[in-house]
Amino acid sequence: MKRSIFKSYDIRGIYPKDLDGEIAYLVGQAFAQMTKAKKVVVGRDMRIGSSELAEKLTGGLTSQGVNVESIGMVPIDAVYFSVGKFDYNAGIMVTASHNPKEYNGMKMVYKVPKGIEWVRGVELYEFLKDKTFSAAAQRGTVRERDIMPEYIEHVLSFINVNTIKPFTIVVDAGNGMAGKVMPLLFKRLPCKLIPLNFELDGNFPEHPSNPLLPESQVQIKAEVVKRKADFGVIIDGDTDRLFFVTEKGDFVRADTTLLILAKYFLQKHPGAGVAYNVICSRAVPQRIREWGGKPLRTAVGFVNLAKAMQQHDGVMSGELSAHYAFRDNYYADSGFIAFLILLSLISEENRPLSKIIDGMNPYAKADEVNIEVEDSKKIIEKVKKRYADGKQDGLDGITVEYADWWFNVRPSNTEPLLRITVEGNTPEILTAKQKELLDFIKQNA
């Protein structure tokens, strides 16, 4: 068993090379003992091996006396919803999210008074290593349940369907679980659905499951323009991340989408907190304050944002990877709730998406750059000294701010990489400062 498959927030590895049925069984045993859960809900996606992993995982859970309810092939937020809404102590989703087709994995949550929290993969590994688990005196039961009717009602509860206008929308499901959910939603919406890649297929035959990759965006951008649609949506495999495309075929960056959603929520919940992470645009905290909200800044990682929401009266959160979480969704993320809220907002504004986002973020921001290094701590210390005249903080790596630009350099949790984000007041400042910073890091790597 490789320690490397136990990640900061979940379990993920190549199937069946690194993660197979035997390991899934052991994870089930360890999860039962670590959480002391008596009733667990298990869901899975359409990936290769998900069926076997879910079956073996269930076997491990029941061997420890846990009663399992299987909800079959579902989006990830259906598991979150189930744990938050019903009498489950915990839930596990078999998925590798947006990873390439060779991967599979598990996301694990448990119920807390305010909603749900995530079981970190690294913590589960520390609990199970060097342990053997004896069977319980009485084996747990397995029951199947169709959660989709209640789940669909839940996500639709975030909007007033009667206010939605009859838009034409291109949805690229990427052969992931959105292909199952979107038809159910559109039955209740007065909108025309133009589906792309709705067949559930863990081989991802049309494009990678990661919507952030340029090759994943080509098809939907072209289709939105060709079909003269009002906007487009592209979603990853387990549906927790989604991105929007304007009617002009332009990709909308996730921190801009966060601003759209934040404005909507702060109008309905004045003074509430909105959580964002350190690599979001500086426009995010500025706009949140402007709209009367409380900006809640966190380290990168959706688990960190959920905790900030729970601790500081947060109504929602978002980050550059396009995880959007909501207080009334048990502090968990949901791509479909984000989609429906944007749909509602565009209906209210009565303007194209391109006009709604125009001017919302005045800054120039580059995509994250990754540089391979041997000693990330050493490089970060050198960066601190080189940019000692800026305002610095160490919440996640090192962030340095100046009047006309800022940057963040942080180490990867899982790879020997530094991740670099740069934003400037103008494109010219961005280009010059990003080159300066990257050249310095490469020279010292």
pLDDT above 80 for 413: no
Q: What pairing do the DSSP bridges indicate for beta strands 364-365 and 417-424? A: antiparallel
- Per-residue pLDDT band at 191 (split at 50, 70, 90): very high
- Per-residue pLDDT band at 416 (split at 50, 70, 90): confident
Which value, to the nearest 10 degrees, does the dihedral of the CA atoms of residues 365, 370, 374, 375 take? Answer: 30
Percent of the chain predicted with pLDDT > 90: 96
Domains, the chain, with CATH or none: 3-147 (3.40.120.10), 155-248 (3.40.120.10), 254-357 (3.40.120.10), 364-444 (3.30.310.50)
**Its pTM surpasses 0.75:** yes
- How do residues 296-348 score in pLDDT, each as one tens digit? 999 998 889 999 999 999 999 999 999 999 999 999 999 999 999 999 999 99
Residue 154 near residue 214 (C-beta atoms within 8 A): no
pLDDT above 80 for 414: no
109: enclosing H helix or E strand: strand 103-112
- Per-residue pLDDT band at 415 (split at 50, 70, 90): confident
Q: What would the DSSP string read from start to end of 14-78? A: ETTTTS-HHHHHHHHHHHHHHH--SEEEEEE-SSTTHHHHHHHHHHHHHHTT-EEEEEEE--HHH
- How do residues 39-93 score in pLDDT, each as one tens digit? 999 999 999 999 999 999 999 999 999 999 999 999 999 999 999 999 999 999 9
- Per-residue pLDDT band at 114 (split at 50, 70, 90): confident
- Per-residue pLDDT band at 5 (split at 50, 70, 90): very high
Q: What phi and psi, each to the nearest 5 degrees, are found at residue 211? A: -65, -15
- Per-residue pLDDT band at 445 (split at 50, 70, 90): confident
Structure tokens at 174: 């990427």
Instruction: Supply the residues annotated as catalytic.
Output: 97
Q: What is the pLDDT of residue 4?
A: 94
Residue 35 near residue 110 (C-beta atoms within 8 A): yes
List C-alpha distances in Å: 61 to 25, 47, 349, 367.
8, 21, 49, 42
Distance CA 189, CA 170 (A): 14
Residues 6+ apart with CB under 8 A from 368: 279, 320, 419, 420, 421
Segment 356-361 mean pLDDT: 93
Q: What is the pLDDT of residue 66?
A: 98
Residue 146 near residue 71 (C-beta atoms within 8 A): yes
Question: What is the chain's mean pLDDT, rounded?
Answer: 96
Residues 6+ apart with CB under 8 A from 193: 169, 171, 182, 183, 186
Segment 261-271 mean pLDDT: 95
Percent of the chain predicted with pLDDT > 70: 100
Number of H helices, E strands in the chain: 14, 23
